Structure 1
Amino acid sequence: MTATGQAFWNRIADRYAARPIKDVAAYEEMLAEVGARLRPRDRVLELGCGTGGTAIRLGPQVAEWIATDFSDRMLQIARTKAVPPNVRFVLAEAGTAFDGAPFDAICAFNLLHLVPDMPATLAQVHAALRPGGRLISKTWCFADLRRTLRLLFPLLRVFGLFPPATSLSEPQLRQAILAAGFTIETQRSFGRSPQSHFIVARKPGPP
Structure 2
Amino acid sequence: MKNPAAFWDKVAVKYAKSPISDMDAYTYSLERTRSYLSPEDHILEVGCGTGSTALLLAENVKQITASDLSPNMLRIGREKAEDQGVSNIKFINAELSDSKIDIGPYDAVLALNILHLLEDMPAAIERINGLLKPGGIFISKTVCALGTGTPFKYRLMKLILPLMQMIGKAPYVNFMEISELEEIISSGGFKIIETGNYPASPTSRYVVAKKIEKT
Instruction: Tell me the TM-score normalised to structure 1 length.
Output: 0.91
Inter-partner Cα distance in structure 1 for 2:91 and 2:141: 20
Aligned equivalent of 1:171: 179
163, 166, 174: which is aligned to 1:158? 166
Inter-partner Cα distance in structure 1 for 2:129 and 2:117: 18
Aligned equivalent of 2:104: 101
Given residue 107 of structure 2, which amino acid in structure 1 is its aligned partner?
Answer: D
Inter-partner Cα distance in structure 2 for 1:46 and 1:198: 15
Aligned CA-pair RMSD:
1.9
Equivalent residue runs for 1:21-170 within 5 Å: 21-81=20-80, 82=84, 84-96=86-98, 98-141=101-144, 143-146=145-148, 148-149=155-156, 150-170=158-178
**TM-superposed deviation, 1:176:** 0.4
* Deviation larger for 190-199 or 68-77: 190-199
Structure 2 residue ranges without an equivalent (≥5): none
* Deviation larger for 44-53 or 114-123: 114-123
Q: Percent of aligned positions with the same letter in both sequences?
A: 38
Whether the 8 Å contact between 2:92 and 2:101 is mirrored in structure 1 is no
**TM-superposed deviation, 1:83:** 5.0
Q: Report the secondary structure of 1:80's partner residue.
A: helix
Inter-partner Cα distance in structure 2 for 1:78 and 1:61: 18
Aligned equivalent of 1:4: 3
Q: Report the secondary structure of 1:113's partner residue.
A: helix
Given residue 69 of structure 1, which amino acid in structure 2 is its aligned partner?
Answer: D
Instruction: Tell me the TM-score normalised to structure 2 length.
Output: 0.88
Whether the 8 Å contact between 2:96 and 2:127 is mirrored in structure 1 is no
Given residue 75 of structure 1, which amino acid in structure 2 is its aligned partner?
Answer: L
Inter-partner Cα distance in structure 2 for 1:185 and 1:130: 17
Inter-partner Cα distance in structure 1 for 2:191 and 2:85: 33
Structure 1 residue ranges without an equivalent (≥5): none
198, 208, 215: which is aligned to 1:190? 198
**TM-superposed deviation, 1:192:** 4.5
